[in-house]
Amino acid sequence: MGRILLMKGITKRFGNIVANDRVDFELNRGEIHGLLGENGAGKTTLMNILYGIYTPDEGDIYINGTRVNIRSPYDAIRFGISMVHQNFKLVQSHTVAENVALGLKDTGFFYPTRSVERKIEEFSKRYGFKIDPNTPVWQLSAGEKQRVEIIKAFCRDAKIFILDEPTTMLTPIEIKELFNLLKLLREEGVSVVLITHKLDEVMDVCDRVTILRGGKRVDTVDTGKVDKEDLARMMFGQDINLRPRTQFVSSFEKDVVLEVRDLTVLNDKGLPAVKDVSFDIHRGEIFGIAGVSGNGQRELIEAITGLRKVARGSIRILGEDVTNMKVKEILNRRVAHIPEERMRLGIVPSMSLEDNVILRNYDKSPFSNGLLLDYNVISDYARDLIAEYRISAQDSKVPAGTLSGGNIQKLILARELSISPVLIIASHPTQGLDVRSSQQIHNLLVKKKEEGCAILLVSEDLQELLDLSDRIAVMFNGSIRGIKDIEEVSIDEIGSLMVGV
Partner 1 sequence: MLTKYKSLWLSILVIALGLLAIDLISGIRPDIIFKSIVISAFGSIYGLSETLTKSIPLMLCGLGLSLAFRSSVWNIGAEGQLLMGAIGATWVALYIMPNVPGPILIPVMFLVGAIFGGIWALIPAILKVKFNLNEIIVSLMMNYIAIELVNYLVYGPWKSPYEWGFPYSTKFPLSAQLPRISNTRIHYPTLIIAVILAVVFYIILNRSKFGYEMRVVGDNMEAARYAGLDISRVILLVLILSGGLAGLAGVGEVAGIHHRLRVASGISPGYGYTAVIVAWLGRLNPLLIIIVSFLFGGLLVGGDAIQVSLGLPGATINFINGLILIFLLVQSFSRGRASLTRKRRSEV
Partner 2 sequence: MNIIVDILKATIPAGTPLLLGALGEIYVERSGILNLGVEGMMIMGAVSAFGVTAITNNVWLGILISSIVGGGMAFIHAFNSITLKANQTLSGLSLTMLGLGLSGLIGKRYIGMPLPVKLYNLPLGALKDIPIIGHVLFDQDPIVYMSYILAFVFWFLLFNSRFGIELRSVGESPDVADSAGINVSKIQYLAVIIGGMMAGLGGAYLSVAYAPAWIEGMTAGMGWIVLAITIFSLWRPERAIIGSYLFGGIRVLQYRLQPFGISPSLLNMLPFIFTILVLMIASREISRKKISAPSSLGVPYFREKIL
Rule CB under 8 A: say whether 136 interacts with partner 2. yes
Q: Out of partner 1, partner 2, none, which partner does residue 313 contact, by CB within 5 to 8 A per kind? A: none
> Comparing C-alpha atoms, which of 338, 295, 357 is closest to residue 455?
338
Rule CB under 8 A: say whether 71 interacts with partner 2. no
Nearer to partner 1, 256 or 266 (CB): 266
Q: Out of partner 2, partner 1, none, which partner does residue 85 contact, by CB within 5 to 8 A per kind? A: partner 2
- 389 with 444: CB under 8 angstroms? yes
Pick the stretch among 99-107, 292-300, 459-467, 469-477 that binds partner 2 (CB under 8 A). Answer: 99-107
Rule CB under 8 A: say whether 244 interacts with partner 2. no
Report in angstroms how near the CB of residue 425 gets to partner 1 at its nearest. Answer: 11
Beta-carbon contacts of residue 221 (< 8 Å; ≥ 6 apart): 208, 209, 211, 230
| Three-point CA angle 306, 311, 314, nearest 5° | 65
Report in angstroms how near the CB of residue 430 gets to partner 1 at its nearest. Answer: 19
Rule CB under 8 A: say whether 98 interacts with partner 2. yes
Q: Out of partner 2, partner 1, none, which partner does residue 98 contact, by CB within 5 to 8 A per kind? A: partner 2
CA distance 126 to 309: 43
What are the b/e assignments for 96-112, b being 16+ CB within 10 Å?
A: bbbbbbeebeebeeeeb
Rule CB under 8 A: say whether 77 interacts with partner 2. yes
Within 10 angstroms of residue 463's Cβ, the number of other Cβ atoms is: 17
Rule CB under 8 A: say whether 73 interacts with partner 2. yes
Nearer to partner 2, 90 or 468 (CB): 90
Pick the stretch among 102-110, 241-249, 422-430, 440-448 that binds partner 2 (CB under 8 A). Answer: 102-110
Cα 229 to Cα 124, 143, 150, 225, 241: the distances in Å are 38, 29, 31, 12, 18
Nearer to partner 1, 330 or 475 (CB): 330
Report in angstroms how near the CB of residue 168 gets to partner 1 at its nearest. Answer: 22
Pick the stretch among 78-86, 204-212, 281-289, 422-430 that binds partner 2 (CB under 8 A). Answer: 78-86
Report in angstroms how near the CB of residue 225 gets to partner 2 at its nearest. Answer: 34
**Which regions of 49-92 does DSSP assign to beta strands (E)?**
58-63, 66-68, 81-84
Nearer to partner 2, 89 or 326 (CB): 89
Rule CB under 8 A: say whether 2 interacts with partner 2. no
Residues that bind partner 1 (CB under 8 A): 305-307, 326-332, 337, 339, 344-351, 355, 358-360, 362-363, 368, 371-373, 375
What's the alpha-carbon Rg for the chain, to the nearest Å? Answer: 25
Q: Quick one: CA dihedral 428, 441, 424, 348, positive or negative? A: negative
Identify the H or E element spanning 309.
Answer: none
> Comparing C-alpha atoms, which of 148, 223, 153, 140 is closest to residue 185?
153
Q: Out of partner 1, partner 2, none, which partner does residue 330 contact, by CB within 5 to 8 A per kind? A: partner 1
CA distance 316 to 298: 18
Rule CB under 8 A: say whether 93 interacts with partner 2. yes
Cα 331 to Cα 213, 291, 306, 339, 421: the distances in Å are 36, 26, 9, 13, 9
With CB under 8 A as the contact rule, the residue among 107, 305, 437, 496 that binds partner 2 is: 107
- 153 with 84: CB under 8 angstroms? yes
Within 10 angstroms of residue 318's Cβ, the number of other Cβ atoms is: 16
| DSSP string for residues in 214-260 | TTEEEEEEEGGG--HHHHHHHHH-S----PPPS----SS---EEEEE
Rule CB under 8 A: say whether 16 interacts with partner 2. no
- 59 with 10: CB under 8 angstroms? yes
Rule CB under 8 A: say whether 112 interacts with partner 2. yes
- 170 with 144: CB under 8 angstroms? no
Pick the stretch among 71-79, 166-174, 232-240, 372-380 that binds partner 2 (CB under 8 A). Answer: 71-79
Asked if the peptide bond before residue 429 counts as cis, ω within 30 degrees of 0, the response is: no
Identify the H or E element spanning 332.
Answer: helix 327-332
Site string for partner 2, 174-213 (x = CB under 8 A): ----------------------------------------
Report in angstroms how near the CB of residue 392 gets to partner 1 at its nearest. Answer: 22
Cα 430 to Cα 40, 58, 205, 460: the distances in Å are 13, 27, 35, 10
Q: Out of partner 2, partner 1, none, which partner does residue 103 contact, by CB within 5 to 8 A per kind? A: partner 2
Report in angstroms how near the CB of residue 138 gets to partner 2 at its nearest. Answer: 5
Pick the stretch among 72-80, 229-237, 239-247, 442-450 that binds partner 2 (CB under 8 A). Answer: 72-80
Nearer to partner 1, 332 or 479 (CB): 332
Nearer to partner 1, 372 or 435 (CB): 372
With CB under 8 A as the contact rule, the residue among 90, 182, 462, 468 that binds partner 2 is: 90
Cα-flanking dihedrals φ and ψ of residue 438, to 5°?
-55, -45
Nearer to partner 2, 53 or 377 (CB): 53
Binding site for partner 2 (CB under 8 A): 14-15, 17, 53, 72-74, 76-78, 83, 85, 89-94, 98, 101-104, 107-113, 136, 138, 152, 432
